[in-house]
A and B are shown apart, each in its own frame.
Chain A
Amino acid sequence: MTMMVAVDDAQKLSFKRPIGDGDTVIVYERHDCMRAVTVSPGSELQNRFGVFKHSDWVGKPFGSKVFSSKGGFVFLLAPTPQLWTLVLSHRTQILYLPDISFVVSCLEIVPGCVVLESGTGSGSLSTSLARAVAPSGHLFTFDFHEQRASSARADFQRNGLTSLITVTVRDIQGEGFPKQHEGSVDAVFLDLPQPWLAIPSASRCLKPDAVLCSFSPCIEQVQRTCETLRSSFTDIRTFEVLVRSYEIKEHCFAKSVSEEDGSPVGPPPQKRKQSTLPANKSEKTESNFSVMAKPCNTARGHTGYLTFARLTVLSN
């Protein structure tokens, strides 16, 4: 039983909730090297750090450090939608945390909401949408590619999300959303090559004042989408969201002792180890140790434009 999104109290992360047979854990080797593994006693994980027996993991809390046969270690983390986004297999280009979090907030999704999504893609956003509507809401997600829909369904099953997500194979651009959703939907998300084709159907599904979001990499798509939105939607806004990351480095520099002051307070700098924190305050003030930060050299430059709009409320 996995708890990517808790649908009852027993599933939530806790000191008292140990790793068990059948759980999905996220194996953390390094910040840029993680993978999802289903725990199965008798199985082993092999990586650069050695061989890890799953049976060693059962009974330990999530967040534990576990060791391989040759003394290397990894951390076992509880799955979350964020971690899933970083480890899932990419069948298509996916959305990442900055876009995902902005979409969920601007679509104003709260527990209990009914949300439509097209296309499902690799299920990165879908997993976060499931968390946002849980435990009583639902995500209906559509993809025109049968095999990808199938892979997404399998992922959601593995992650315990089937009560929250329904995957359907359907060409939303060609056929629109199914009629049964008309007038009952709290939010719609579109990630389609020609989203303007889906907008009339979306406008029938959304409740008045509810929000639609369309994600498009190209500005021409955005222009055409906004043009189409104007007849039934208001508050049309387009954004770009990005994140800049920073890296840190500690900096130790030698300090020369002034002869007038006599002997320095505390042990001389060169005896101090490089990577440990100063043991007491007087060492720190005397210390020539500081942490510097700088932006990372590489960054994601563009994912897509996010256009949000509210279904216009008509006055009767």
Chain B
Amino acid sequence: MEEEKLTGSEETSAAKANGLSEVNRGVAWDGCSVLLDINDGDRLVFSRLSPSASIKIGNKKCSLRPLVGCPFGSLFTVETGPSGPHLSRSAPSSTGNCVEEISKDEGQSVNEIRDNRSLIDNNTAQSLSSEDIEAMRSEGATGDEIVKALIANSSTFEKKTVFSQEKYKLKKQKKYAPKVLLRRPSMRSICETYFKKHPQRTGFMRVDTLSMLLSMANVGPYSDALVLDKLGGLVVGSVAERVGGTGYICSTYFGTVPYQIDIVRMFNLSSDVCARILQAPFSDLSPLQNAPSECAMSDPSDVRPGSPETAQPDPSNELLQDGDSLLDSRDNGDDTLTGQKPVKPGRKAPPEIVKSWKDNGFTSLIIAAPEMDVESLIMDLLPLLAYSAPFAIYHQYLQPLATCMHKLQASKMAIGMQISEPWLREYQVLPWRTHPHMQMNAFGGYILSGIRISNSNTGGVIEDKAA
């Protein structure tokens, strides 16, 4: 059997085609976008590793410089040094091992039955005061040492079950020895973070729903994907990440002002990929229009979605670090390794590309505009799709999709239609403690999917597309 291994040069070209040029995808670089996970998901912050970037944990402000050059997935703790608090790379969490020890000891824990019948919650169990703890800290005690001391000085700790002790320890660790995990932003982490912390900004788009939209719309290499994204760019970024540096992503809009797609900038997409993300008003794409219309953007080659005419970015977006906005127009950290001037995603689509879209048709259509009238959107955008191209529409309400599906069936513009409601449940899998999570999200939206077909009954060869 033939087994291929990518050679070094093939890997580099693979990485290039991946849209990441020579940058090692696994290591944080100067100026890259990162997702900081503080205390196992308690707090999630998007940031950019610029020279002035910092993060505030508790009451300590730490620079993010130590993160540059570290692999994504690295863990950091806050340590106090001579020049103040700083982030220091630390060993991976040991909680995994604790759980294993529990499973070995499970025979023992079953025999000595512990429960909480005699535990009284009156705040007298801990004999260390907050002053004692501060004193320890100023003497240079690490967070882990403080946690050990708290356990030793707790009168009720020994009476707890092993699981309860574990929970107690984790709780104290979060407070006195907070951990910062450096995560790589990707469609999954960006979608999950917004869904968890600010779902209204991304139209309550859940990660399984977004995954299905991408699959149903057959997003892949050489796609010419038409996207109507009113979720801040989450969909455009996800499509672009999946298409890579081939094909095009056309982010379209109605009216004269492009929709804001700033979330795209969190994806760390390379210049090659960003160059493929274009914006075009529907009026330019519509087959009734022959010449591109005048639009509010005067300079077609340097359009940015954050320009004054568009809706202003929400200044109170807590997901972005204070004073270190991802929307900073002075930011020039992209692609420092290749030395290229970074291409901003979302430049105006050049006329020759618009013409090719009209001649060939788009190969995918995704609509994610929960506030808009989905029926009129699909009637306008579906004719821009090539025949046999799939579409997927995300909406929060069932009735408009039902009406839409009916209309498409009656007008014979599409087949294979389905209204789907994705369902997602997460499980806790631990020895003796396996069960679904106590909290569950109840709703991830609806999707209307289908395939555009030619409703012409003529039996000839390729017709003029204008038919």
Contact = CB atoms under 8 A, between A and B. Distances in A.
Contacts of B415: 28, 31, 75
B425 A240 contact: yes
Interface string A232-243: 001011111111
Contacts of B214: 101, 104-105
B208 A250 contact: no
A181 B7 CA distance: 11
Contact of B386 (A5, A63, A180, A314): A63
Contact of A13 (B4, B187, B388): B388
B100 A227 contact: yes
Interface residues of B, number: 107
Interface stretch (B114-122, B125-133, B153-161, B456-464): B456-464
A234 B40 CA distance: 11
B19 interface: yes
Interface stretch (A133-141, A254-262, A264-272): A133-141
Interface stretch (B135-143, B254-262, B401-409): B401-409
Given A98-B422, A234-B93, A180 B220 contact: no
A98 B242 contact: no
Contact of B247 (A12, A77, A106): A12
B427 A239 contact: yes
B323 to A, nearest CB: 28
B387 A63 contact: yes
Contact of B455 (A65, A112, A178, A219): A65
Contacts of A132: 220, 242
B359 interface: yes
Interface in A198-239: 207-210, 219, 222-223, 226-227, 230-231, 234, 236-239
B405 to A, nearest CB: 6
Interface in A113-130: 113-114, 128
Q: Dominant SS at the B interface? A: mixed
Interface in B369-400: 386-390, 398-399
B243 interface: yes
A80 interface: yes
Interface size class of A (residues with CB under 8 A): 35 or more
B19 A178 contact: no
A104 B215 contact: yes
A312 B427 contact: no
B427 to A, nearest CB: 4
Interface stretch (B44-52, B71-79, B195-203): B71-79
B398 A293 contact: yes
B223 to A, nearest CB: 7
Given A8-B222, A166-B4, A315-B90, A78 B188 contact: no
B172 interface: no
Contact of B427 (A166, A227, A240): A240
A9 B424 contact: no
Given A60-B462, A313-B74, 10 more contacts: A11-B222, A61-B388, A104-B211, A111-B17, A134-B221, A180-B5, A209-B71, A209-B72, A223-B431, A276-B410
